[in-house]
């Protein structure tokens, strides 16, 4: 909550806390993975989380039917594998984050050589400003911290319901409604499918090209198959094989308005972070016409939307499946390690470590598997530095004690 909305009576006294270890910002999978690694190394730490729970993106911003699209071995955290009895594709350490604590700013103090992290901590109706001082800072807020809500001409005059996919839960309340779903990624496809299954009438806006792949090939995960092929074949060949398999299994999707990008799906994911859509049934609804594919939006008007091709649709609601972005530039006062869009400047696998004790986890554009690799590197690197500094402190204390004893 911004400070301008808080009365003086609601503020508790300010506090300053020294942390004998790193401060981790974000209690999602990335932050928890780093914390687990640090705990195994015996390194103390503090996790700050603005929400009231861990993995808030998964718990608070997902629709009811959401399931992981990838096999569980590609989605587990370091030192915390899924149990054997979990299904192959699951639904959703003694680590205690500090919840409801929003970071306002983080800045490196060059004079003293420490990070200063200022937060606002909320509890019931009271608020407290807290400053943490630490040697190491781990940014684990991820690529999806804030909703992207594009501005469209006339949207403020549209009289129907407008929400982001992060607030969408189920199509049950849309029964019989004409719904415009803006976006054709995995969220857009799955929201459209869910609306169909609840007898709504979705139209899905496809503004750019998209790769649609089958979720499985002969009973095997497409992603797992791609990972296996990458061990033996060059990337371009793996992409070509995936596209051939997609054509054989799904047919020609371009005739339904789903144009494929010129770059292969794996190369596109690695270079631009654009994830291919894994079809879980939406394509069948597109073929049948239950999900209508429409081009980009020109403008909105009361109860209507005009498309770039001149077509006008009468609609009741809009769901913005337009994705998320990093929020790092809004609070981290640093411009060498992170770019203006809140992503480390150095690409994977070299984007996890900056200068002056600054680290990043969860920005690899490779999902949980990439975050896990970076988390292990960060935990080991911090543990090494922490143990060396702790050893030097103990030597210094012992030396002072010996001098005092000899003096007496």
Question: Please, which pLDDT band fits residue 122 given cuts at 50, 70 and 90?
Answer: confident
Superfamily of structural domain 147-324: FAD/NAD(P)-binding domain (3.50.50.60)
| pLDDT value of position 184 | 94
pLDDT in tens, 240-297: 999 999 999 999 999 999 999 999 999 998 888 888 999 999 999 999 999 999 999 9
Contact 186, 278 (CB under 8 A): yes
**Does the pLDDT at position 8 exceed 50?**
no
Residue 332 DSSP class: B
**Does the pLDDT at position 7 exceed 90?**
no
Report the phi/psi class of residue 100: left, alpha or beta, with left for phi > 0 and alpha for psi in -120 to 50.
left
For tokens 């301008």, name the residue.
Answer: 4
Equal CATH topology for 14-145+327-386 and 147-324: yes
Alpha helices in 80-135, H assignment, sequence order: none
Give the start-to-end residue ranges of the domains of the chain.
Answer: 14-145+327-386, 147-324
Q: How far apart are CA 147 and CA 166, in angstroms?
A: 7
Q: Give the torsion through C-alpha atoms of 346, 347, 353, 355, to 10 deg.
A: 0
What fold is seen in the domain 14-145+327-386?
FAD/NAD(P)-binding domain (3.50.50)
Question: Please, which pLDDT band fits residue 52 given cuts at 50, 70 and 90?
Answer: confident
Question: Please, which pLDDT band fits residue 348 given cuts at 50, 70 and 90?
Answer: confident
Mean pLDDT of 170-192: 95
pLDDT in tens, 215-242: 999 888 898 899 899 999 999 999 999 9
Question: Please, which pLDDT band fits residue 400 given cuts at 50, 70 and 90?
Answer: low
Q: How far apart are CA 305 and CA 115, in angstroms?
A: 49
* 393-396 LR contacts (CB < 8 Å, sep 24+): none
Residue 338 DSSP class: B
């Amino acid at each position: 909550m911004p400070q301008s909305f808080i009365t003086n009576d609601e503020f508790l006294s300010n506090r300053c806390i020294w942390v004998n270890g790193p401060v981790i910002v974000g209690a999602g999978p990335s932050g928890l993975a780093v914390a687990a690694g640090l705990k195994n190394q015996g390194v103390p730490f503090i996790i700050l989380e603005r929400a009231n729970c861990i993995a808030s993106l998964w718990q608070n911003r997902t629709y009811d039917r959401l399931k992981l699209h990838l096999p569980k071995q590609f989605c587990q955290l370091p030192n915390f594998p899924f149990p054997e009895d979990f299904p192959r594709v699951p639904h959703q350490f003694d680590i205690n984050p500090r919840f409801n604590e929003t970071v306002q700013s983080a800045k490196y103090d060059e004079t003293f050589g420490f990070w200063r992290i200022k937060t606002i901590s909320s509890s019931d109706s009271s608020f407290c400003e807290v400053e943490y001082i630490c040697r190491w800072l781990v940014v684990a807020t991820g690529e999806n911290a804030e909703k992207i809500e594009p501005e469209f001409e006339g949207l403020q005059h549209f009289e129907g319901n407008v929400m982001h996919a992060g607030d969408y839960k189920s199509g049950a309340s849309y029964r019989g409604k004409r719904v415009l779903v803006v976006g054709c990624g995995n969220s857009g496809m799955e929201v459209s499918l869910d609306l169909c299954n609840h007898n709504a009438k979705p139209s899905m806006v496809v503004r750019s090209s998209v790769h649609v792949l089958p979720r499985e090939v002969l009973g095997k995960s497409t992603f797992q198959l791609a990972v296996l092929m990458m061990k033996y074949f060059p990337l371009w060949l793996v992409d070509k094989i995936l596209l051939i398999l997609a054509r054989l299994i799904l047919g020609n999707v371009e005739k339904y308005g789903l144009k494929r990008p010129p770059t292969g799906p794996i190369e596109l994911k690695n270079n631009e972070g654009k994830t291919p859509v894994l079809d879980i049934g939406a394509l069948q609804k597109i073929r049948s016409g239950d999900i209508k594919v429409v081009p980009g939006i020109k403008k909105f008007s009361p109860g209507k939307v005009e498309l770039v091709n001149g077509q006008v649709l009468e609609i009741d609601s809009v769901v913005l499946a337009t994705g998320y972005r990093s929020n790092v530039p809004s609070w981290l006062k640093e411009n060498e390690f992170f770019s203006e869009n809140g992503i480390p400047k150095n690409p994977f696998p070299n984007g996890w470590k900056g200068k002056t004790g600054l680290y990043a986890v969860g920005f690899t554009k490779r999902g949980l598997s990439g975050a896990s690799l970076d988390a292990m590197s960060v935990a080991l690197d911090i543990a090494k530095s922490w143990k060396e500094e702790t050893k030097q402190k103990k030597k210094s204390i012992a030396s002072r004690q010996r001098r005092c004893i000899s003096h007496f």
